[in-house]
Amino acid sequence: MRVFLIAAIAALIALPAAADEKPVQLKKAPGLDKVEANCQACHSLDYIPMNSPFPNAALWDAEVTKMIKAYGAPIDDADAKAIAEYLKANYGS
């Protein structure tokens, strides 16, 4: 339910913020569904490749934690873990 809600929010806010936002295609790999369902509620997905591939595993963990703790992203533990693993495997060093 939460995932659905966030995706719905993402769909709603995408329009007024930047009318011609094009989809950003990330690498197809396990966990991508969690990234798409959670991260783009607050920001477009280009943020991820932009910050790559330099982050090591610890840095990607810290970034996911920052999104939850500092920015208040409503991501549950299981999704947070899946997102971090996806980022480390596909956009890490």
What residue ranges bind another protein (CB under 8 A)?
A: 9, 13-14, 16-22, 24, 40-44, 46-55, 59, 63, 70-74, 91
Tokens 């939850």 belong to residue: 68
Please say which residue, 33 or 46, places its beta carbon nearer to another protein. 46
DSSP class of residue 52 equals -
Give the CA distances from residue 20 to residues 14, 79, 92, in Å, rounded to whole numbers and listed in that order. 9, 29, 29
CB atoms within 10 A of CB 4: 9
Minimum distance from residue 84 beta carbon to another protein (Å)? 14
Minimum distance from residue 39 beta carbon to another protein (Å)? 11
Please say which residue, 43 or 81, places its beta carbon nearer to another protein. 43
